[in-house]
Amino acid sequence: MKKIHFLGECMVELRSTQPNTMQQSFAGDVYNSSVYLKRCFPDIQSGLITSIGEDSLSTKMLGVFSNEKIITDFVFRHPTKVAGMYLIETDEFGERSFIYWRSDAAARKVVEFLDDDVLEQLAESDMFFVSGISLAVLEPTTRSSFWDKVSFLKNRGVKIVFDPNYRPRLWVNEDEAREQFDQAFAFADITLPGVEDLSDLYQIQNSQELVEFCKAKNISEVVVKDGPASVVSYDGQQTTSHQITPVEHVVDTTSAGDAFNGAYLGARLSGYDIEKAVRYAALAAGIVIQHRGAIAPKMAFDTAFKHGVDAL
């Protein structure tokens, strides 16, 4: 059975439903991707590598992971830290804004738990996924050790996947972010960037420039998400443009990219070629943005995905 592990952070999500009323759930870019991969491809083992607290919300979070059939072998409990939290607000066009409380988040400490025994177990995975947000959240003093661990996994044959989602507010400055992204690109076998993520850090303006940038880094599989209607891929030999039919009724774009990542990697692990994997990924993303919140209701998502796959 194929296996992938996502390293990063899951947070407590708060969403305003009406004046003075909040709805609480759990979300985070790598967690979202792990969930959608598992929903789209149940036969693949999808695991999360993170640290949570011993508080009641962290305990509830762990229960949600299990309900989504996410592997929790590497979800560690920190004795003094707590789960991070954010508030999401969505405008009339489905675009969102966030307020975060994550300075005391347990996920910042996850590298401390990745000892030799854990690495040996992770080396049995097919893929190891890390995002730009994952890197930003890690305590700066642990980043050097983290890259040593990534090097170990790559040398053991695990494919390294990097989604360079850039969130300026999480970094001290662009130089700090660029240094960590350079490290990630150097290790990556697969990368899933968006043009806007790298425009500020690397002055990249379009998909072709981004593909050339990744080719220069010797990355063998590149999938560029360039807006709702276009995906460009590079398979180590040729570049292909994939036209995507945009969704007409957009409710919330919160985790469109996360769902795309999860479904795409699930398809690739299932043996599908890049073209078919992109179609599956676009289908999953299109379903998600028609629902509020990062994690769409399971029954609604599963039904829509099955019908969509039948029509592909």
Catalytically active residues are 258
State how far Cα 299 lies from the chain centre: 22
Q: Residue 294 to residues 26, 29, 244: CA-CA distances in angstroms?
A: 8, 9, 21
110 DSSP assignment: G
Helix axes 274-288, 29-40, angle to 10 degrees: 110
Q: Residue 272 to residues 139, 265, 301: CA-CA distances in angstroms?
A: 37, 10, 21
Q: Is residue 173 a contact partner of residue 208, using CB atoms and an 8 Å limit?
A: no
Coil/strand/helix, residue 222: strand
- Taking the C-alpha atoms of residue 23 and residue 17, their distance in angstroms, rounded to an integer, is 6
